Amino acid sequence: MSTQQVDREKLEQTVRQLAEQLEEIKSYIEIAQNRVSSIASEIEEVRASYESLSWIEKRSSEDTIVALDRRGYAFVKANLSNPPKILVSIGRDYVVELPIDKAKSVLSSREKELMSALRDAEADLRKLLELYNQLNRKLREYLSILAQTQSSSG
């Protein structure tokens, strides 16, 4: 077996390994993108809850209707006591009853935690994308070398 053939086989093996690594990283990128999207969605929900509490705070002791969903398919009539108590999730299916100002404080804290998690998730995603791009450039470089060796030997 010639040295050129051995080098070509090593190069082909390296190309296969790089392709496998790229596929693996691609799956990690998808997971990271889903995580970023999920956290961003949760931030939107926390902000919507905060805005709703601000709205309720201004209208306490009024009769009102409250949407049961985000699209407005169903509503319930409600009388907001003065001042109303709010049930706020504190995680793991636990809720506490709090005055509006405390509930808003809990939501603000949750938003800060989520923003920090979002920054971390975005940083992880950027690192994965950088790694993917580096490996992809290396793969193209090796494929180019393989093509050159094939044309020079053929």
With a cut of 60, say whether residue 101 has pLDDT above it.
yes
- Average pLDDT for 108-121: 98
pLDDT at site 127: 98
d(C-alpha 151, C-alpha 77), whole Å: 78
- pLDDT tens digits, one per residue of 9-58: 888 999 999 999 999 999 999 999 999 999 999 999 999 999 989 988 88
pLDDT at site 153: 64
- Average pLDDT for 70-93: 83
Eight-class DSSP state of 74: -
Residues 6+ apart with CB under 8 A from 131: 25
CATH topology of domain 3-153: Helix Hairpins (1.10.287)
Upper half-sphere CA count for residue 135 (Cβ side, 13 Å):
19
The packing angle between helices 3-58 and 100-153, to 10°, is: 160
- pLDDT tens digits, one per residue of 56-77: 888 766 788 877 887 888 988 8
Question: Any idea which residue has 């709703």 for tokens?
Answer: 52
Sorted by where each begins, the domain ranges of the chain are 3-153
Question: Any idea which residue has 């009024």 for tokens?
Answer: 62
Tell me the pTM: 0.80
